[in-house]
């Protein structure tokens, strides 16, 4: 029997851009969550506005250049016009957009929280296999092992033990620490093997051996 849970990774900010400011000595720009639009006849240019973390100097990251207005849906056009923050975040986290602009993000600057069930609830579950679907709408190069350690309250050594006894699987395969997270990924954990890691009596017995 298996029981399913949700782990939701929530970014608290967009990543800084690694870019040298031409007005001061700063090398980081933050996303303003605002767009700039410039229409010329039937074409339009759209940028996402960034600002220097020190002097507020602006850098405009190109989203659309000399694009026919009718090729942009009415809904998306409205979001640009209204400076929709969710839309700004989608582009700020977009690897494709950064590549097109030849800029690099400081992904380590992203702070985040993970919503998850307390480990006590999991250990007392009647399920043999615990299945976790991970919601991760904004990709900032997070490792699956980091999420698992956080949500299961495991040290690095404990996670290694769980991996050694084939107690944790990622996308149906034994977990490897190099795996990077994608939205919708699934983790499965053997509850009995997980519980053994929290057994103080077992730890004491191993110490005496």
Domain boundaries of the chain, sorted by first residue = 2-11+111-208, 20-102
Rounded Cα–Cα distance for residues 156 and 145 (Å): 9
**What pLDDT digit, counting tens, does each position of 56-98 carry?**
999 999 999 999 999 999 999 999 999 999 999 999 999 999 9
Q: In what order do the strands lie in the sheet with 28-40?
A: 58-68, 43-52, 28-40, 16-18, 104-106
**What pLDDT digit, counting tens, does each position of 128-161 carry?**
999 999 999 999 999 999 999 999 999 999 999 9
2-11+111-208: CATH topology:
3.10.290
């Amino acid at each position: 029997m298996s029981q399913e849970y949700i782990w939701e990774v929530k970014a608290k900010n967009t990543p800084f851009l690694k870019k040298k400011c031409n007005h001061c000595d700063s090398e980081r720009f933050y996303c303003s969550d605002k767009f700039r639009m410039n229409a010329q006849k039937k074409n339009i240019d759209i940028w996402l506005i960034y600002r220097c973390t020190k002097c507020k100097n602006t850098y405009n990251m190109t989203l659309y250049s000399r694009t026919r207005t009718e090729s942009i849906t009415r809904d998306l056009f409205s979001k640009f016009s209204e400076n929709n923050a969710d839309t700004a975040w989608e582009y700020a986290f977009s690897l494709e957009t950064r590549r097109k602009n030849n800029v690099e993000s400081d992904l380590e600057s992203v702070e985040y929280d993970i919503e998850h069930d307390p480990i006590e609830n999991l250990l007392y579950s009647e399920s043999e296999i615990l299945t976790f679907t991970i919601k991760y709408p904004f990709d900032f190069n997070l490792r699956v092992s980091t999420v698992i350690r956080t949500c299961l309250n495991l040290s690095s050594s404990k996670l290694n033990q769980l991996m050694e006894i084939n107690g944790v699987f990622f996308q149906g395969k034994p977990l490897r620490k190099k795996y990077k997270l994608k939205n919708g990924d699934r983790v499965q954990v053997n509850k009995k093997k997980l519980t053994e890691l929290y057994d103080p009596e077992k730890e004491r017995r191993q110490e005496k051996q």
